[in-house]
């Protein structure tokens, strides 16, 4: 990724300020979200819970949710934004009184690394499992939050975080509630006068308290040498990391996807395992101390190097696709469907203009509902919808002629397999990932752009050599050596943290 130069936009100014905490020169707010953040500070700032300022602990979370409400004309997007905020609430370990918990007897034995799994996110699982496989069951254990449909790792001790969380009546947070009510009445912006926002803050404080007590029990009973998470900004990873920090337990966050927006920052873990120097620079630009960053490569991409790919004919049989036609993969993103619908429509029109016998293979993100895609595709035999798990992603990418995406990490994975990539910016926004600006991918906003890019990059003998060289540089900058040994490098970092060598 290249460093941006020049004066930042008002929106970039707000993102930098709320996420990194870096002191910036004060200037009058210019963007509505700047003003919202300022009022959020005025209404909720200075209310301490466990010594942590209520506004400061939620500022980045609030910014993302408010931006979603401002920019997305979608009720589902707004609900999702408010329910999956980064940073999440406060770390209020002793905020509420709960019924007594049965005592747990500490387990004997030496401390072990603890791997925290949130659930079925394939990027997280693909990142964690290769690293976990470098340890024996005697050397490491797992803590799981949502285990529905999650297959336990053979032989590894499996701890349920929710089973250890307290259950019972919590006393009312009358003092905090009264303060929030009074502040809310003074608010200018209607958003801050909402009872629902005050209720959310209280609810998240209680939820955080329960999660914090669960992790305190885990650390008390199961001696832990290092906490390993895929996110210290999501709710469970944030609580686990704060709990470990209080007890002096070092922690490591593993990058599991390409950085975009405000994901991954601020870093509160002891160390962050970055895929490549480009991510390391991205983190440093957002105020992450260089000492916290170690470049290891991407463990979940080790399989690209270490595992042979299946023949194309076998993939065609699994998909029900004609192996004699060209396959172009569209990797969708977990964004409102109207945006993915724009990508789909542009991709279909672009393939028709291309004029080659081609099939559009739409690879859905694991979190997406296939129903609206099926309705949009109808009976078009030139489009195949692929749900997560139907075929191996890397087998599919290796068998394709080109890959279309907006900001999915699938683009980088396709480049690692030497597949041409098109940054499909069909709804008018610039890709937050640096594919096209680095010259590693063509950029297409219209069907005509896409057809032109496919003619340039796919037909034998016509591939743009400069773009292929740029892809190689992109992989080198973003994925380190891409040598299949990233998980081993992460294991070495964990062992170093456990021995306190890296602290």
| Residue 328 confidence (pLDDT) | 96
The 10s digit of each residue's pLDDT in 196-241 is 766 766 666 667 667 777 888 899 899 999 999 998 877 788 888 8
| Residue 500 confidence (pLDDT) | 85
Beta bridge partners of 116: 143
User: Do 474 and 488 fall into the same domain?
Assistant: no
State both tokens at 474: 């992109």
User: Do 277 and 229 fall into the same domain?
Assistant: yes
Q: What is the CA radius of gyration of the chain?
A: 24
User: Do 371 and 418 fall into the same domain?
Assistant: yes
Q: How far is CA 218 from CA 25, 147, 213, 299, 453, in A?
A: 43, 17, 9, 26, 53
Domain assignment present for residue 120? The answer is: no
User: Do 321 and 262 fall into the same domain?
Assistant: no
Domain assignment present for residue 131? The answer is: no
What angle do the packed helices 447-457 and 337-354 form, to 10 degrees? 60
Positions in the chain whose pLDDT score sits under 70: 1-34, 37, 48-102, 120, 147-150, 152, 154, 167-176, 197-198, 200-206, 208-209, 260-262, 459-463, 502-503
Q: How many CB atoms lie within 10 A of CB 361?
A: 24
Beta bridge partners of 114: 141, 227
User: Do 322 and 268 fall into the same domain?
Assistant: no
Domain assignment present for residue 126? The answer is: no
CATH number at residue 447: 3.40.50.2000
Whole-number Å distance between alpha carbons of 138 and 233: 29
The 10s digit of each residue's pLDDT in 155-180 is 788 888 888 877 654 554 556 677 77
Q: What is the pTM of this model?
A: 0.75
What is the number of structural domains in the chain?
2
Domain assignment present for residue 116? The answer is: no
User: Do 216 and 271 fall into the same domain?
Assistant: yes
Domain assignment present for residue 359? The answer is: yes
Q: What is the overall mean pLDDT for the chain?
A: 79
User: Do 271 and 415 fall into the same domain?
Assistant: no
Domain assignment present for residue 282? The answer is: yes
Task: State the residue range of the domain holding 341.
Answer: 309-479
User: Do 442 and 488 fall into the same domain?
Assistant: no
Domain assignment present for residue 122? The answer is: no
**What ranges make up the beta strands (E) of 231-316?**
251-254, 271-274, 293-295
User: Do 235 and 341 fall into the same domain?
Assistant: no
Beta bridge partners of 405: 331, 423
User: Do 319 and 263 fall into the same domain?
Assistant: no
The 10s digit of each residue's pLDDT in 65-88 is 666 555 555 555 444 444 434 333
CATH number at residue 90: 3.40.50
Domain assignment present for residue 124? The answer is: no
Beta bridge partners of 403: 329, 421
User: Do 313 and 384 fall into the same domain?
Assistant: yes
State both tokens at 394: 């890397």
User: Do 191 and 338 fall into the same domain?
Assistant: no
Whole-number Å distance between alpha carbons of 310 and 235: 38
Whole-number Å distance between alpha carbons of 99 and 472: 58
Residue 372 near residue 337 (C-beta atoms within 8 A): yes
């Amino acid at each position: 990724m290249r460093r941006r130069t020049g004066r930042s936009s008002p929106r970039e100014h707000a993102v930098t300020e709320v996420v990194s905490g870096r002191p910036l020169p004060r200037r009058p707010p210019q963007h509505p979200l700047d003003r919202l953040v300022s009022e959020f500070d005025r209404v909720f700032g200075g209310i301490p819970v466990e010594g942590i300022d209520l506004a400061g602990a939620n500022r980045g979370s609030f910014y993302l949710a408010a931006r979603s409400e401002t920019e997305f004309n979608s009720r589902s997007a707004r609900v999702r934004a408010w329910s999956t905020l980064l940073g999440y609430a406060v770390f209020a370990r002793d905020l509420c009184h709960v019924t007594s918990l049965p005592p747990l007897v500490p387990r004997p034995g030496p401390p072990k690394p603890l791997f925290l799994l949130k659930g079925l996110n394939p990027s997280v699982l693909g990142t964690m499992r290769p690293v976990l496989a470098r340890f024996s069951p005697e050397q490491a254990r797992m803590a799981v939050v949502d285990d529905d449909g999650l297959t336990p790792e053979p032989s590894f001790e499996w701890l349920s975080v929710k089973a250890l969380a307290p259950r019972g009546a919590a006393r009312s947070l009358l003092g905090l509630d009264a303060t929030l009510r009074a502040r809310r009445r003074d608010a200018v912006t209607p958003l801050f006068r909402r009872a629902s926002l005050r209720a959310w803050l209280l609810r998240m404080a209680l939820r955080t308290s329960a999660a914090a007590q669960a992790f305190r029990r885990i650390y008390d009973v199961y001696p832990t040498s290092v906490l390993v998470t895929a996110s210290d900004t999501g709710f469970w990873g944030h609580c686990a990391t704060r709990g470990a920090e209080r007890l002096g337990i070092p922690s490591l966050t593993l990058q599991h996807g390409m950085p975009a927006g405000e994901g991954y920052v601020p870093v509160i873990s002891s160390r962050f395992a970055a895929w490549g120097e480009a991510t390391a620079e991205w983190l440093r630009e957002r105020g992450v101390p260089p000492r916290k960053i170690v470049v290891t490569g991407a463990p979940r991409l080790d399989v690209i190097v270490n595992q042979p790919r299946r023949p194309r004919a076998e993939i065609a049989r699994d998909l029900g696709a004609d192996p004699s036609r060209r396959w172009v993969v569209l990797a969708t993103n977990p964004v409102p469907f109207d945006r993915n619908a724009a990508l789909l429509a542009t991709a279909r029109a672009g393939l028709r203009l291309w004029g080659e016998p081609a099939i559009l293979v739409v690879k859905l993100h694991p979190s997406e509902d296939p129903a609206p895609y099926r309705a949009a595709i109808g009976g078009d035999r030139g489009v195949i919808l692929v749900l997560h798990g139907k075929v191996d992603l890397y087998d599919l990418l290796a068998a394709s002629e080109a890959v279309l995406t907006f900001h999915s990490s699938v683009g980088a994975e396709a480049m690692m397999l030497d597949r041409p990539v098109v940054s499909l910016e069909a709804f008018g926004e610039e890709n937050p990932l640096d594919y096209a600006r680095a010259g590693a991918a063509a950029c297409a906003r219209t069907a005509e752009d896409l057809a032109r890019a496919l003619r340039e990059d796919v037909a034998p003998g016509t591939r743009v050599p400069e773009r292929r060289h740029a892809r190689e540089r992109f992989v080198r900058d973003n994925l380190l050596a891409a040598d299949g040994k990233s998980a081993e490098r992460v294991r070495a970092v964990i062992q170093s943290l456990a021995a306190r060598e890296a602290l």
